[in-house]
Amino acid sequence: MDVDVVVIGAGLAGLVTARDLIRSGLDVAVLEARTRVGGRVLNRVLSDGTVVEIGGQWVGPTQDRLESLAAELGVATFPTFDDGENVLVVRGRQRRYRGAIPRLPRHVLADLGQAQLRLDRMARHVPLEAPWSAPRAKTWDGQTVDTWIRRRMRTRQGRDMFRLGVASVFAAEAAELSLLDFLFTSHSGGLLDRLFNVAGGAQERRFAGGSQVLAEALATRLGQSVQLGCPVRGIRHDSESVTAHADGGVLVRARRGVVSIPPALAARVIYDPPLPAGRDQLTQRTPMGSVIKVMAAYDEPFWRADGLTGQATSDRGPVRLTFDNSPPSGSPGVLLGFMEGDEARQAGRWTEGRRRQAVLECFARAFGPRAGAAREYVEMDWSDEEWTRGCYGAHLPPGTWTQFGPALREPCGRLHWAGTETATVWAGYMDGAVRSGERVAAEVAAALRDQG
Amino acid sequence: MDVDVVVIGAGLAGLVTARDLIRSGLDVAVLEARTRVGGRVLNRVLSDGTVVEIGGQWVGPTQDRLESLAAELGVATFPTFDDGENVLVVRGRQRRYRGAIPRLPRHVLADLGQAQLRLDRMARHVPLEAPWSAPRAKTWDGQTVDTWIRRRMRTRQGRDMFRLGVASVFAAEAAELSLLDFLFTSHSGGLLDRLFNVAGGAQERRFAGGSQVLAEALATRLGQSVQLGCPVRGIRHDSESVTAHADGGVLVRARRGVVSIPPALAARVIYDPPLPAGRDQLTQRTPMGSVIKVMAAYDEPFWRADGLTGQATSDRGPVRLTFDNSPPSGSPGVLLGFMEGDEARQAGRWTEGRRRQAVLECFARAFGPRAGAAREYVEMDWSDEEWTRGCYGAHLPPGTWTQFGPALREPCGRLHWAGTETATVWAGYMDGAVRSGERVAAEVAAALRDQG
């Protein structure tokens, strides 16, 4: 036996799993396909040396396990720039507003407010440990979020704004999402305001040095336990042991295994013996969202001088959502844009040149012509990444939670499942990844203690 | 270069592809993971030597390409036994009726009839080559079939019957299915009556010797071109060639490749270079249905003497749909039962003993106590099959056709896609598999001619 536990994947979840297992006195090997750690958490260095986050990046209230990890690793946080007015672009025209609620006609605001109130009330009824046992689980899981929006929301503009909000959380369209999965995710993160907001919400703060430093610091502590460039292709498992086979003939035998990659990628590993029908069919039903994250750098964050936060929402794509992503020094100025769901799928087929132009046009519509003249442009299409294949996370299409839900976390013999998709709190977020690692490490340690 | 074309998968689609390519004068190698051909088409021999079909089995009007294949191979057909009355089991009580329409209260029949009329009218507007271009594609793809049923059908019993009809076609629940995908499939098979019916419908006739003889006869003609026990794990492809890597070091280099396995399994092959985002994300969204097919054998088909066809529909599972599947001789008597969708997922977790008992109880409720005393019981859970992972076919969940549809058939460089899921006519059926093979063979031959 090489080690006690083999962990597949060195994203936040896998690294935290390894940290905790080692703390329990166990030998651990982490096998990572890429030549870097962090998974969906990734820094990018601009040509002037500025570090920006091209993957998951924010931390907010109640994301306690992520906070705690950062504190442990000595990684500081700083507030997302949020001083000034936000921008709403409607039919090409810029409207400024202050706070979380855009300047929309009163009946549209009422429509949005009531939708949110109703959905929050429903979300509270979805048990985080077992969404399939919600009182109206079958009804909610049998319809898309779009169906709910069409039936319950009365204004065209309200529906459009709400669909954008949905896409900003899932990087998928309301038409794809199960209402139950939406309510679960919302409850899991502390209801809609917390998901949507900067101040007091999931976009509240950033990590000094970029979020990937968390993964890198963890990996440094784990030292030789983490092996990069080792894509695991097969896992043999029986009542005694687990053996992971990676490229290049790498072979790690362990008492238990933790698969800490998104379920859609876990489906692509060859299991011997094959996994039970329920687990296999679940992983046919866990598509990743689609997002292209882009950043444009400028000599300075000129929008700040104009009294703007850098946050814009637009009725027109491909970028419909922006943030100020400048470093704490405020220099250079960095605008961050998201193409999500349908927009990402369309723009993903374009050349980079065409995308760049379309993105800068979106920035210019929101922040004026200066935004069109970036000195640097970087982008990341997460659907194109062989070892991720979509972001932010997986969603469970209609009928999946109620028919296959338990298989998401239930171990298969000596194989255990981690990753933010398996979290009950902040599922789909970095905090959920950390929690899933902590949960699975405890699960594995207990199983080794009780059953060997 | 070993061959002109390498075909992955020796189901009907792959075998027909190979047949046509060889006819065009090309060298072909077919690599099949299993030690048998046929894929989802499979015979089972009962202990007395009787052959029954444990996979796809029927042929009906307008399935011309399947008919033509059978004629070419000299495989005769015979009618599905359909003489007498059918049975509807409601709250444990047997009701007999003649013809396709069960004896239900008049308002329930009206509800069902109107639903079917409306859905057929909508289905006609779904272009088979491009379902995403239907006039109301986005609306239809943004909702589940269950949403449509809840909104449009007025009687509880009608809704329940219709949901059963849906499950009988997709082996998935109405709650999982995109309305657009449902309408496409329905149009693809010639509208709902044709999908549902025995007489004049998709369950009209069977193949002498069992449907798998078609695959076996094709394979015999292909001879050494078909290599069994060769699971393809990786496909390298570039602008010049395609190389398939199978277990045991088998390596076939070709000018073009045809992947003729379900999309969810095609996702599990390692492509080098990786496939484009749109294709990859599509295959994260093509779940297979869930079905356990069971057969019970008796000394004779005693229900025939009782004036019954052997066809029963029940409001109670796990088996909610049965057929007479006796051999042409009428001896032994064989009852065929389907557990579909949710029923299959639940029963799949039971022991075989518990399943057998529950199945025979269902048969007894429909056909009396004699049906409870089978002399032999066989079953097949297709979700448990490593090289299929669900039946009858894949469905595209809400939002998939409209966002990823073209990627289902569009070649990626020198890689082409076959399988019944890629068919435009009788998609999901054996006939669709044959058509997809014929289509892709023509596509590949033309590409080789025009581009090499």
Which residue on chain B is closest to A175 by alpha carbon? B142
Count of other CB atoms within 10 angstroms of residue B5 = 29
Please tell me the distance from the alpha carbon of residue A394 to that of residue A287, in angstroms, as a whole number: 5
pLDDT bin (cut points 50, 70, 90) of residue B399 is: very high
Query: Residue B6: is its pLDDT beyond 90?
Result: yes
Q: Tell me how far CA of residue A143 lies from CA of A138, A151, A180, B174, B452, in angstroms.
A: 9, 11, 8, 10, 47
Which residue on chain A is closest to B231 by alpha carbon? A270
pLDDT bin (cut points 50, 70, 90) of residue B452 is: confident
For A16, half-sphere exposure in the C-beta direction (CA atoms, 13 angstrom radius) is 29
Burial class (CB within 10 angstroms; exposed 0-12, middle 13-18, buried 19+) of A223: exposed
Contact list in A for residue B401 (CB cut-off 8 A) is none
What average pLDDT does the structure give for chain B?
Answer: 97
Query: Residue A1: is its pLDDT beyond 90?
Result: no
Which residue on chain A is closest to B381 by alpha carbon? A277
Supply the pTM of this predicted model: 0.97
Exposure string (b/e) for B361-371, b if CB count within 10 Å is 16 or more? ebbebbbeebb
Query: Residue B257: is its pLDDT beyond 90?
Result: yes
Residue closest to B235 by CA, chosen among B7, B1, B22, B4: B7
Q: What is the mean pLDDT of residues B243-260?
A: 97
pLDDT at B25: 97
Q: Which of B150, B280, B402 sits opposite A383 (nearest CB)?
A: B280
Q: What is the mean pLDDT of residues B156-169?
A: 96
What is the percent of chain B where pLDDT is above 70?
100
Q: Are strands B58-59 and B205-207 parallel, antiparallel or unpaired?
A: antiparallel
Cβ contact, residue pair A348, B278, below 8 Å: yes
Cβ contact, residue pair B284, A287, below 8 Å: yes
Q: Which of B147, B288, B403 sits opposite A142 (nearest CB)?
A: B147
pLDDT at A99: 86
Which residue on chain B is closest to A291 by alpha carbon? B277
Annotate A141-163 with DSSP letters as a single string: HTSBHHHHHHHH---HHHHHHHH
Q: What is the mean pLDDT of residues B168-186?
A: 98
Q: What is the mean pLDDT of residues A92-121?
A: 94
pLDDT at B306: 96
Contact list in A for residue B144 (CB cut-off 8 A) is 142-144, 147, 398-399
A-B Cβ pairs (cutoff 8 Å, strict): 146
State the nearest Cα–Cα gap between A315 and chain B, in angstroms: 18
Render pLDDT for A278-333 as a digit per residue (tens, 0 to 9).
Answer: 999 999 999 999 999 999 999 999 999 999 999 999 999 999 999 999 999 999 99
Render pLDDT for A352-394 as a digit per residue (tens, 0 to 9).
Answer: 999 999 999 999 999 999 999 999 999 999 999 999 999 999 9
Tokens in use for A251? 């072979």
Q: What is the mean pLDDT of residues A428-443?
A: 98
Cβ contact, residue pair A404, B345, below 8 Å: yes
Residue B297 parent element (H or E): strand B291-298
Contact list in B for residue A268 (CB cut-off 8 A) is 267-268, 270
Render pLDDT for B355-365 as a digit per residue (tens, 0 to 9).
Answer: 999 999 999 99
Tokens in use for B34? 């299993």
State the nearest Cα–Cα gap between B331 and chain A, in angstroms: 34
Q: Are B327 and B50 in contact (CB under 8 A)?
A: yes
Q: What is the mean pLDDT of residues A124-133?
A: 98
State the nearest Cα–Cα gap between B289 and chain A, in angstroms: 9
What is the percent of chain B where pLDDT is above 90?
98
Cβ contact, residue pair B390, A288, below 8 Å: no
pLDDT bin (cut points 50, 70, 90) of residue B1 is: low
Q: What is the mean pLDDT of residues A159-186?
A: 97
Cβ contact, residue pair B287, A284, below 8 Å: yes
pLDDT at B308: 98
Render pLDDT for B408-427 as a digit per residue (tens, 0 to 9).
Answer: 999 999 999 999 999 999 99
Cβ contact, residue pair A281, B402, below 8 Å: no
pLDDT at B261: 98
Q: Are strands B333-340 and B232-237 parallel, antiparallel or unpaired?
A: unpaired
Contact list in B for residue A287 (CB cut-off 8 A) is 281, 284-285, 397
Render pLDDT for B24-83 as a digit per residue (tens, 0 to 9).
Answer: 999 999 999 999 999 999 999 999 999 999 999 999 999 999 999 999 999 999 999 999
Give alpha helix (H) positions in B131-208. Answer: 137-141, 145-152, 156-170, 179-188, 192-196
Residue type for position B51: V
Please tell me the distance from the alpha carbon of residue B22 to that of residue B18, in angstroms, as a whole number: 6
Contacts of B117 (CB under 8 A, 6+ apart): none
Q: Are A54 and A275 in contact (CB under 8 A)?
A: no
Q: If phi over 0 gives left and psi between -120 and 50 gives alpha, with beta otherwise, what is residue A249?
A: left
Mutate to test the interface with B, among A281, A355, A388, A395 (most CBs of B within 10 A): A281
pLDDT bin (cut points 50, 70, 90) of residue A103 is: confident
Mutate to test the interface with B, among A34, A138, A147 (most CBs of B within 10 A): A147
Cβ contact, residue pair B142, A144, below 8 Å: yes
Contact list in B for residue A147 (CB cut-off 8 A) is 142-144, 147
Contacts of B343 (CB under 8 A, 6+ apart): B167, B317, B318, B319, B320
Please tell me the distance from the alpha carbon of residue A29 to that of residue A381, in angstroms, as a whole number: 30
Count of other CB atoms within 10 angstroms of residue A45 = 11
Query: Residue B287: is its pLDDT beyond 80?
Result: yes
Which residue on chain B is closest to A385 by alpha carbon? B277
Please tell me the distance from the alpha carbon of residue A163 to that of residue A402, in angstroms, as a whole number: 24
Q: Which of A141, A174, A268 sits opposite B267 (nearest CB)?
A: A268
State the nearest Cα–Cα gap between A381 and chain B, in angstroms: 9
Burial class (CB within 10 angstroms; exposed 0-12, middle 13-18, buried 19+) of B450: exposed
Mutate to test the interface with A, among B270, B281, B400 (most CBs of A within 10 A): B281
Query: Residue A452: is its pLDDT beyond 90?
Result: no
Cβ contact, residue pair A383, B264, below 8 Å: no
Which residue on chain A is closest to B264 by alpha carbon? A284
pLDDT at A394: 98
What average pLDDT does the structure give for chain A?
Answer: 97
Q: What is the mean pLDDT of residues A334-359?
A: 98
Its ipTM equals: 0.97
pLDDT at B169: 97
Count of other CB atoms within 10 angstroms of residue B425 = 19
Q: Which of B138, B150, B280 sits opposite A389 (nearest CB)?
A: B280
Render pLDDT for B90-147 as a digit per residue (tens, 0 to 9).
Answer: 998 999 999 888 889 999 999 999 999 999 999 999 999 999 999 999 999 999 999 9
Render pLDDT for A177-230 as a digit per residue (tens, 0 to 9).
Answer: 999 999 999 999 999 999 999 999 999 999 999 999 999 999 999 999 999 999
Render pLDDT for A218-264 as a digit per residue (tens, 0 to 9).
Answer: 999 999 999 999 999 999 999 999 999 999 999 999 999 999 999 99
